[in-house]
């Protein structure tokens, strides 16, 4: 078991600075590095703001805040990296950029140091291949905002050693996080399950089966903290389209992205950051997407179908079953990840617990119905047919994904 006495974070943007704050809050010294002074100053400012909010709420004293701030040092080079035990890279989502950083880290950090990446979608194995210590390279994916979100996805690459996995799990627990181990797959766990759900909402709008406000209202009344369109606006339509591309590249037609995402990105409707996304944050009229929707309906020959919240939930449940049958994660970890990482209602226990409550037989029946109406996006996971055949249909039979 390796003890971690000192950490470093590469990239002082939103995620990098939040991760550095989380590390300093746990009492560890941390170096925050970026390419220029302006970036690191901005990062330090963001960290101070997070702590100041705690002080304002009476959760810590100004003196305690200064003690925590004193644990953070900044640099634009690699000074101080000679004795770090872990580095977390949070630079832009670009494979070439990450490979270059990891190759440099390999040269400037001690041999025992763990080199981790906060990537949300790129291959850990490919990043590890840029170093002479792929066994020490691992994914540690924090969720935004990192200081508030408990979930951390831990993703080993093909060459990552079991010691490195154990060390990073212990490190995440030391940061008071809930680490979930995920086998390497495009989108990892949360994004892979979330994207079909968000993408299906986009299809519903594109084909004119419901409106932005009605879809969001239906998911909030189901118990989600916000609707899919409000969430997409927060994530950024450009970011969502990029994740959709990565998943499509791996899983093919089953995860075909809704065209409206690309059309919106092209028009500059990127969400809250540009003032317009699915919602209009400038005048609240929300009719700016009408021309795009009309155009797509003509191009795609869209047929309206009836909308219910089940349509989005089934897309997520089906993907959760795929993830489980591929051995990416365990049933309980899948549910914990979706409750802690996306706010899936706790009383429903997560997508697989919820499937057990609804009944696996009904889930399969509804998926087949949607597959007939809407095509291969709803092709049921093979495991569902096996479970129904075996009588493992959930709570009512005493056994489904879980035992009751």
By annotation, the residues acting in catalysis are 141
Measure the CA–CA gap between 11 and 259, rounded to whole angstroms. Answer: 32
3-state SS, the chain, equals CCCCCCEEEECCCHHHHHHHHHHHHCCCCEEEECCCHHHHHHHHHHHHHHHHHHHHCCCCCHHHHHHHHCCEEEECCCCCHHHCCEEEECCCCCHHHHHHHHHHHHHHCCCCCEEEECCCCCCHHHHHCCCCCHHHEEEEEECCCCCCCCEEEEEECCCCCHHHHHHHHHHHHHCCCEEEECCCCCCCCHHHHHHHHHHHHHHHHHCCCCCHHHHHHHHHHHCCCCCHHHHHHHHCHHHHHHHHHHHHHHHHHHHCCCHHHHHHHHHCCCEHHHCECCCECCCCCCCCCHHHHHHHHHHHCCCCCCCCHHHHHHHHHHHHHHHHHCCCCCHHHHHHHHHHHHCCCHHHCCHHHHHHHHCHHHHHHHHHHHHHHHCHHHCCCHHHHHHHHHCCCEHHHCECCCEC
Bond before 100 cis per omega within 30 degrees: no
Cβ atoms < 10 Å from Cβ of 276: 22
Yes or no: say if 77 and 71 are a contact pair by the CB < 8 Å rule. Answer: no
Place of tokens 């140091």: 113
Strand 114-117 vs strand 137-142: parallel, antiparallel, or unpaired? parallel
Q: Which two tokens stand for residue 372?
A: 């007939």
Place of tokens 């690191």: 40
Strand 114-117 vs strand 72-75: parallel, antiparallel, or unpaired? unpaired
């Amino acid at each position: 078991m390796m003890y971690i006495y000192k950490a470093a974070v590469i990239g002082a943007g939103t995620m990098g600075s939040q991760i550095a704050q989380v590390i300093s809050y746990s009492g560890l010294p941390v170096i925050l590095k970026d390419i220029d002074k302006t970036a690191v100053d901005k990062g330090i400012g963001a960290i101070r703001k997070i702590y100041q909010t705690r002080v304002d709420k009476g959760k810590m004293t100004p003196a305690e805040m200064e003690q925590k701030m004193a644990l953070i040092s900044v640099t634009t080079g690699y000074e101080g990296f000679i004795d770090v035990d872990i580095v977390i890279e949070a630079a832009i989502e670009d494979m070439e950029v990450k490979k270059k950083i990891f190759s440099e880290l390999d040269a400037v950090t001690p041999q025992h140091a763990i080199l981790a990446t906060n990537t949300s979608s790129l291959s850990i194995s490919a990043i590890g291949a840029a170093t002479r210590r792929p066994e020490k390279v691992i994914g540690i994916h924090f969720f935004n905002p990192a200081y508030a979100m408990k979930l951390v996805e831990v993703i080993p690459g093909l060459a990552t050693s079991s010691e490195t996995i154990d060390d990073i799990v212990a490190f995440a627990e030391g940061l008071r996080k809930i680490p979930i181990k995920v086998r390497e797959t495009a989108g990892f766990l949360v994004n892979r399950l979330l994207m079909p759900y968000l993408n299906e909402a986009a299809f519903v709008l594109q084909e004119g089966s419901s409106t932005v406000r009605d879809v969001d209202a239906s998911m909030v009344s189901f118990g989600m903290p916000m609707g899919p369109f409000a969430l997409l606006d927060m994530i950024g339509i450009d970011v969502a389209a990029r994740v959709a591309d990565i998943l499509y590249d791996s899983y093919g037609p089953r995860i075909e992205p809704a065209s409206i995402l690309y059309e919106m990105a092209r028009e500059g409707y990127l969400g809250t950051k540009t003032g317009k996304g699915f919602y209009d944050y400038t005048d609240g009229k929300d009719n700016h997407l009408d021309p795009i929707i009309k155009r797509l309906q003509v191009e795609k020959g869209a047929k309206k179908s009836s909308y219910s919240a089940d349509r989005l939930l089934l897309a997520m449940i089906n993907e959760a079953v795929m993830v489980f049958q591929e051995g990416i994660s365990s049933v309980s970890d899948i549910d914990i990840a979706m409750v802690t990482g996306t706010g899936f209602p706790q009383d429903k226990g997560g997508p697989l617990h919820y499937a057990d409550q609804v009944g696996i037989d009904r889930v399969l029946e509804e998926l087949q119905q949607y597959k007939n109406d809407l095509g291969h996006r709803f092709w049921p996971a093979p495991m569902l047919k096996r479970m129904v055949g075996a009588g493992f249909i959930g709570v009512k039979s005493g056994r489904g994904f879980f035992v009751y």
